[in-house]
Amino acid sequence: MSAREEILRRVRAAFPPDPADGEDGVVPVPRGYPCHVDLPRGDVIALFGERVAARRAAVRHVAADELAVAMAAMLWAREAKRVAVPADLPRGWLSGLEGVRPLADDPPLDPATLAEADGVVTGCALAIAETGTVVLDGGRAQGRRALTLIPRHHLCVVHADQIVGTVPEAVGRLDPYPPLSWISGPSDGRSLEILVVED
């Protein structure tokens, strides 16, 4: 008997189906926890800012036409000279930069270059207000996972319409198949800044 067959046999012998379980034998799962926050849209965005700050990440709210200037200011404040960016980062985001060199990840930057970069700028797939989280799925303006793993600083741009209220809302919207990175505050000695763009 193969290990697979033997383990499955042991599993089924150990916990045989209970005739009292009903026809399909499915255990019902109560879902009484809240799936939405009961707040007006503006307050959800404000809540996100508060929760990000509570996780010791810097957060700034700007209007869409101020994005480039605000980003330049945030990078200058950190004296960043070279920042890694995904190849498909919107060009407009970096248009205000002077003296900061963007390093496009195309062809892929090698780990040494990433380690020497002063930071990385990305967008995100969505953000969660209640927990102050940004989630990256490798989609537009986000790049591959290594881009956010190696550099010592991460500046993440969140559009206000990407912010959902709760974790259940986020799980409902996310595609399970691409690699996901859920980031809630800085970790492992790498800093995190969030730029919220309100349209």
Partner 1 sequence: MRFSDAARPELADPRERRTRRQAAEDARARQAAATGELPDWEPLRESGAAIRERTLRELGTHLETLETAVAEEGGRVHWARDANEARRIITGLLPADADAALVRSDVTDELGLEGAEPGPHTKAAVVGAGFLVAETGTLVVTGRGEGLSIPGTLVVVAGIEDIVPDWTDLEVLLQLLARAGAGLPLHPAVATRTGEFELVLVDNGRTKVLADPVGREALRCVHCSACSDVCPVFERTGPRPYGPGRAGPIGAVLTPQVRGVEVSLGASLPFASTLCGACADVCPVKIDIPGLLVHLRGRVVDARRRRPVPNPELLLMRGLAWSMGDERRYEQTVVRRARWARLLVRDGRIRRLPGLLGKWTDARDLPAPPRRSFRAWWRRRG
Q: What is the CA radius of gyration of the chain?
A: 22
Bridge-based pairing state of the strands 101-104 and 82-85? parallel
Structure-token match 């990433």, residue found = 114
Q: Is 115 in the site for partner 1 (CB under 8 A)?
A: yes
Binding flag, residue 98, partner 1 (CB under 8 A): no
Cα–Cα distance measured from residue 18 to residue 10, given in angstroms and rounded to the nearest whole number = 16
Does residue 20 bind partner 1 (CB under 8 A)?
Answer: no
Give the strand pairing for 119-122 and 126-128.
unpaired
Told to check if 107 binds partner 1 by CB under 8 A, we report no
**Which of 146, 159, 160, 198 is the binder for partner 1 (CB under 8 A)?**
146
Nearest to 164 by CA among 174, 177, 154, 150: 174
Q: Judged by CB under 8 A, does residue 95 bind partner 1?
A: no
- Nearest distance in Å: CB 42, partner 1: 21
Judged by beta carbon, residue 28 or residue 40, the one nearer partner 1 is: 28
Q: Match 């967008």 to its residue by tokens.
A: 123
Binding site for partner 1 (CB under 8 A): 2-4, 6-8, 10-15, 18, 21, 25-35, 51, 55, 111-112, 114-115, 128, 130-133, 144-146, 149-150, 167-168, 170-172, 176-188
